[in-house]
Structure 1
């Protein structure tokens, strides 16, 4: 690359990464449309703790499983096409959830919530898209910045309850649907795939089978299920937790959940950049240690607002650093021809990691003592197991495979 073209490449690289981050943010907002309103739905429909948990967890499931397919499709069609496709496909589910909520139908909310999960698959598009635009030495930074699209969960937690108060329930969903449509148009006009992108036209299933044979896929899936799963679970369930434990309103619970999500979002690129400078293993170890400690403190229900905020924001920071660290590790270890496939499986594992905790939290809630001790204790145990696994089984320096396993 000549020095004359370097500034132009740098500008296009930055523009496309910024646009990809915005696409992720608006889709994450759409994916998280139910969580901030879950306490309102629970009150209006007289839902049990378990029913409310199912409502929150349903979009997470489809968002997780869909990434398995979306990742290798990105290898074939490129990030631009897939960003547009996922964004457009999310519009109808957003409107459908708005209709179901307006009608007060729990069954319809669950059914349409499944399709709302389409928006959550966007993450499996952005990681290979960012990887192609950046050199290996800066992919931790690139994936960390793209990961800041998780801010969509903070935006949803903060603004969705307020929009409902200002504009009404269905109109709020229309606003997000319009934002998705405008974003798709912006991608069509402005976004471009990296010149380094080469379409992989191999059949999807053989690519997935090949990725599944790589040890890195399952090692990183386990780690990501803990850190990203923890982030997704709390971003969706924290409004219910805060209202139940501290008796805040839906708007106030949403504001505090937004602070949690924003802290994790800001910490993600920090984790990625740290992993560019030191072995990602040590970044991930620090994340698990901090997550276990913060979750342990949360068991004792620190009083609002200062100490509870410190506890959960600290938890968010460690989870965010971990998400950045794990995906920097994926970019470093996965074969170049399999990045999308490996990313799809790892991202799916992260989403599945976020599916089960809300169900566990709802199912183990002690209504007599008003606490979530069992659920939080399980998070502590899981983080410690992941810490020991990373410390004892994974190497700080490991050669990157040169080709797919077939």
Structure 2
């Protein structure tokens, strides 16, 4: 085999791994976000209050956040292909459970377990990053991160499937997609280089790196926005403007699509520019568009403008932040991804709960959205103090 043939084969392996990892993540994210597009229907089926509904939406995010850390470490140690396949097999269990459940308590249990689908992000980033050099990490991780599109696909498809074929058909559909993803991954992807000598103690050493925690804080805001608004948009639109579930799902899909499609663009630009300088503007625009949303609950047009704007800002931020992840601790990309991804996913867990509680107490969503403005200002201050005017640089 010539050098050129070897390089071509290597490129085919790398891009096959990248595309399949992205598609598998999209399937997993459809399961992870399955309750949001169906929130109105589930609320009627189980007679849920606003706080009970937002708790249900937040519950899958919890396990998906916490388990990203060990799952990312396992991917580095044993290989992303193996871990991805085992993960998808596990997801089939709660999807099947949901079709047999008749109580809210058991629905919460199934929602917790289906949250494991959210850990697919840690596996996908660890697996995809192993095939690309440092100068292409922003592009590669931006592309694999487009698996977040599963939220948009779920918002577009699941309400329609439920309306035309029944509630249980949604979960039969998700199980079929998951099985297809397992088969494709098993047949077409090679295993990544692994670090069998690595222990959990050594992998957790990334927690000693201050950069791990700063990136986690920033991702708490940007990815937390993606998860929160993907889940809350149908509820906002239904409660504030009386929009039906299918149409509300279209708006939620619009937000998720904008946030996801722009992500690799953010990562690619960060390959060429200083990422931390880009994040300044991300936080500024998040604060601005959050204020737009805050004052838009009497204007559907203004709400959609704010939704699209905040999706663009958060999506670029997600791509920029993950450009920096492989630089924090060489050989521990999965572990750093786990930490950063876990905090980011927790950013999607708490807001729906807080917004639901505030809505129930005050009758308004505006105070909850204002907390988002304050979070963006906090992140801007930390970025300015530590990285812009400080001497810390993750990417030189």
TM alignment of 1:4-403, pairs within 5 A? 4-100=5-101, 103=102, 105-194=103-192, 197-204=193-200, 206-301=201-296, 305-331=300-326, 333-365=327-359, 371-394=364-387
Contact 1:139 1:328 in 2 (8 A): yes
- Structure 1 residue 12, shift from structure 2 partner: 2.0
Equivalenced residues, count: 393
Larger mean CA deviation between 319-328 and 306-315 belongs to: 306-315
Contact 2:289 2:309 in 1 (8 A): yes
- Structure 1 residue 302, shift from structure 2 partner: 5.7
The 1-side partners of 2:329 and 2:387 are apart by 18
Q: Secondary structure at the match of 1:394?
A: helix
Gaps of 5+ in 1: 402-406
Contact 2:219 2:343 in 1 (8 A): yes
Contact 1:95 1:173 in 2 (8 A): yes
The 1-side partners of 2:325 and 2:387 are apart by 13
Contact 2:211 2:394 in 1 (8 A): no
Contact 1:279 1:397 in 2 (8 A): no
Contact 1:335 1:400 in 2 (8 A): no
The 2-side partners of 1:302 and 1:42 are apart by 22
- Structure 1 residue 166, shift from structure 2 partner: 1.5
The 1-side partners of 2:184 and 2:391 are apart by 41
CA displacement, residues 269-316 of structure 1 (integer Å, 9 cap, x when unaligned): 111011101011022222111111000011111655543222101111
TM-score by length of 1: 0.93
The 1-side partners of 2:99 and 2:261 are apart by 30
The 1-side partners of 2:180 and 2:370 are apart by 43
- Structure 1 residue 359, shift from structure 2 partner: 0.3
The 2-side partners of 1:355 and 1:245 are apart by 22
Q: Secondary structure at the match of 1:200?
A: coil
- Structure 1 residue 344, shift from structure 2 partner: 0.7
The 2-side partners of 1:317 and 1:62 are apart by 27
CA separation of 1:249 and 1:399: change in aligned 2, threshold 3 A: closer
RMSD: 1.8
TM-score by length of 2: 0.95
CA displacement, residues 33-64 of structure 1 (integer Å, 9 cap, x when unaligned): 11111121223333111111101000000000
Contact 1:364 1:374 in 2 (8 A): yes
Q: Secondary structure at the match of 1:133?
A: coil
Larger mean CA deviation between 319-328 and 208-217 belongs to: 208-217
Gaps of 5+ in 2: none
